[in-house]
Chains A and B, each alone.
Chain A
Amino acid sequence: EVQLVESGGALIQPGESLRLSCAASGFNFKNYAMTWVRQAPGKGLEWVAAITGSGSSTYYADSVKGRFTISRDNSKNTQFLQMRSLRAEDTALYYCAKDYYDSSGYSWMVDSWGQGTFVTVS
């Protein structure tokens, strides 16, 4: 069974930094691209960033480009989201999600989600 467990969410002040982690299990982690998606309270889904299985390619939403960095450690089955210069509009529940297909690329579809970790910037 696929399990994704996010951690690292916190209440922080504008301009500060925070690193989120996502521990994965139940699948061959290095074979799958991984994604971060966020959801502000009462709002819809917003794709944040993605990284291919090898870590060689990364993708970012315009709203976080230059401030957030996605990375992964395949030896520890964990992905990360380093967030800098945080703003009030970054306040959201951050979900870690697994790519749908086992491939060297990114399918732009996600099939397994964690329960999320909440980031409040205030």
Chain B
Amino acid sequence: QSALTQPASVSGSPGQSITISCTGTSTDIGTYNYVSWYQQHPGRAPKLIISDVSNRPSGISYRFSGSKSGYTASLTISELQPEDEADYYCGSYSSSSTLAFGGGTKLTVL
């Protein structure tokens, strides 16, 4: 069982926006801003798309944005494109000095 809770799947049509939630507790997301998001296409290594809750690393599209409220972090993808179809994982530092990942969310672009 993952320490962080994500929906198993989300879907959207090209051009639309979707949001993926990642719920933790007071020992991780609720207290720390070491929240990151990763995109993983089938058969490929994960890719960092959001760091520090809401920062986009160099080269990451403006269509990806992150936020946090309370114990929940969110990833929003705007102007959905077919190539966005992938698995998405959130990650957060935990006060037990571990890195927790969410269980992953499969994004389907209809």
Contacts and interface: CB of A to CB of B under 8 A. Distances in A.
Contact of B97 (A44, A46, A59): A59
Majority SS at the chain A contact face: strand
Interface in B1-46: 2, 34, 36, 38, 40, 45-46
Given A100-B51, A109-B34, A47 B101 contact: yes
A100 B99 CA distance: 14
Contact of A95 (B36, B45, B89, B97): B45
A61 B96 CA distance: 9
Majority SS at the chain B contact face: strand
User: Interface residue tally of chain A, by bracket?
Assistant: 20 to 34
Contacts of B51: 100, 109, 111
B57 interface: yes
B98 A62 contact: yes
